[in-house]
Chain A
Amino acid sequence: MSESLHAVLEGLPQSSLTTHVLGALDWIVPGEWTNITLFEAMIKDVTGETDEALIQQVGERALQLYADESTGYQRAVQVYRGIDSASTVAGAAAMANLAGQRFEILSFLTDVTPRADTTQAIDAGIKFAGELVGFTLCNGLPGDSVGDFVASLANYGKEERMRLAAWLAIDCVLPLGPDFVTKVLEALDGPLESIQENRVFEFVSEHLPGGIAEQRDTIKKNVEESRGHLEGMVSQHGITQETVLAKVKEYVAIADDKLDVAAAALDLGTNTFEHTGIQTVARRVITRAYGEI
């Protein structure tokens, strides 16, 4: 028996290193994200309804839709979880219980080895393909529907916009700098093995049609066609290595100013895709349930 939707959502922490980091990045997407972790609160946010019987009806329908594996929502959650589980050490989750004070990840940093630019760039590209896959699973499109995904990026809102901002800040700009798109594309053009061996690839590849070469083409096309939107978002909101690090340091104690080390530590200690991805899926399922009842 799979976990029910309300259990999945309510399993998210109300306060954790991840929520602090997301809060620190709020300046990129002001007001888009609030950390909703209670099922009832999400139903009220989506519907704006107050009638308890109606809220119950929406909730029960949402639970049914999610429980039906053929709807794809469970697989979307698996992908969002997979993106992070591959890059987050198990022990980092324990930090989620630390709250009420600035997070201290100094102890991490002494032990974190920054990744080579190429590895980081491939990771960023494949995570973005994971976002494409999550989008297609939620919306009922084939896994390689890059055109639909890119067109929808401009309409991203709430948790999905927060997730995109966090990916741009932590996975792209902080470790790779302003020309991150070029670096990602160049890295993806390297040996196919470097993609196959990537930790996130296994969670994403099964949803991308074709063999490894076609999958690489899809991953690249996804970045190429989104380039204008991504670079526009970075320049419009002033996302630079300096602004990201300065903001994060307001909320999280990072002793080391080395950008690649800070990026690696944040990647290791947070699960922004899983956290906001589950919130996105819950919102999508509840929206549909509200339409169906």
Chain B
Amino acid sequence: MILRRMLVALAVVAAVCAGVNGCKKDEPKSTRWDDAAAAVTTVQVSPSGAPAAPAIQAGVLPKYFPKDESLAGYKRVHSADKEGYAEAKLQKDGKEVAILSIADAEKLAYAKAKFDTAADKLDGYPLMTVGNNQTSVLVKGRFQVKVSSQTLDNDARKGILSKFDLKGLEGT
């Protein structure tokens, strides 16, 4: 076995050396994320001591997603159910057209704070667009419900948001 591996390794080395002239170097990698990645470690070593509301366990959030019968022409496929985050893919004719998500923003102050300037409302909850491809509503000052799509416009995304059980979510 060891001899076999050595033989293979030798063969590979020979192949690489023989092919040096044909080598193509990879595109240079960006250093854009290095600082952010290093900062993550720092945060983890000394977490902030601020008390947080109890975590939302897996299994809680999916039940507030739109019911299948309310999504005429679409098919919904749940794709994540984790602590504080649930997600579903929305498909039409077998193609993914949107991602639906509910995220607990309790520990993400900036995620909640952006709604301070929200001018619109949906069923009384602050509503806004994020970037070009998201429409989002904040429920209970804590849960961010989003529809993200590169093909559906804001009105269509808002229409899907209205199918979530936002009142039920308010009661969690």
Interface pair A290/B132, CB less than 8 Å apart: no
Interface pair A91/B134, CB less than 8 Å apart: no
Interface pair B23/A292, CB less than 8 Å apart: no
Interface string of B13-43 (1 = CB under 8 A from A): 1111001001110110110110011011101
What would 5 more interface pairs be, CB under 8 Å, given A71-B82, A108-B11? A1-B41, A47-B148, A67-B44, A111-B8, A140-B80
Interface pair B111/A91, CB less than 8 Å apart: no
Question: A-B pairs with the 6 shortest C-beta distances?
Answer: A291-B101, A91-B9, A140-B82, A4-B37, A48-B150, A107-B11
Interface string of A1-30 (1 = CB under 8 A from B): 100111100100111000000000000000
Asked if A100 meets B85 with Cβ closer than 8 Å, knowing A63-B40, A107-B11, A140-B58, the reply is no
Interface pair A287/B87, CB less than 8 Å apart: yes
- Among B41, B58, B80, which residue has its beta carbon within 8 angstroms of that of A138? B80
B144 within 8 A of A: yes
A196 within 8 A of B: no
How many whole Å from A101's CB to the nearest CB in chain B? 4
B171 within 8 A of A: no
B12 within 8 A of A: yes
Interface pair A101/B82, CB less than 8 Å apart: no
Q: Which residues of A contact B9 (CB under 8 A)?
A: 89-91
Interface pair B37/A47, CB less than 8 Å apart: no
Query: What band does the interface of chain B fall in when counting residues whose beta carbon is under 8 Å from A?
Result: 35 or more
Interface pair A92/B103, CB less than 8 Å apart: no
Interface string of A104-127 (1 = CB under 8 A from B): 100110111100000000000000
A175 within 8 A of B: no
Which residue of A is nearest B148, CB measured? A290
Bound state CA distance, A236 and B16, in angstroms? Answer: 38
B162 within 8 A of A: no
Interface pair B15/A10, CB less than 8 Å apart: no
13 A–B contact pairs at CB < 8 A? A38-B29, A39-B30, A39-B32, A49-B131, A97-B23, A104-B15, A108-B12, A155-B77, A284-B80, A290-B134, A291-B103, A292-B85, A292-B103
Query: What band does the interface of chain A fall in when counting residues whose beta carbon is under 8 Å from B?
Result: 35 or more
B154 within 8 A of A: no
Interface string of A63-97 (1 = CB under 8 A from B): 11001101110000000000000000111101101
Bound state CA distance, A72 and B26, in angstroms? Answer: 30
Interface pair A288/B8, CB less than 8 Å apart: no
Asked if A89 meets B8 with Cβ closer than 8 Å, knowing A48-B132, A67-B44, A292-B105, the reply is yes
B158 within 8 A of A: no
Q: Which residues of B contact A68 (CB under 8 A)?
A: 44
A213 within 8 A of B: no
Q: Which residues of A contact B105 (CB under 8 A)?
A: 292
Interface pair A40/B32, CB less than 8 Å apart: yes
Interface pair A49/B81, CB less than 8 Å apart: no
Interface pair A97/B16, CB less than 8 Å apart: yes
A139 within 8 A of B: yes
Interface pair A91/B77, CB less than 8 Å apart: no
Interface pair B133/A91, CB less than 8 Å apart: no
Interface pair A91/B12, CB less than 8 Å apart: yes
For A50, A139, A140, A152, which residue has the most chain B Cβ atoms within 10 angstroms? A140
Asked if A291 meets B32 with Cβ closer than 8 Å, knowing A98-B22, A98-B23, A107-B15, the reply is no
Which residue of A is nearest B27, CB measured? A14
Bound state CA distance, A98 and B40, in angstroms? Answer: 35
Q: Which residues of A contact B91 (CB under 8 A)?
A: 155
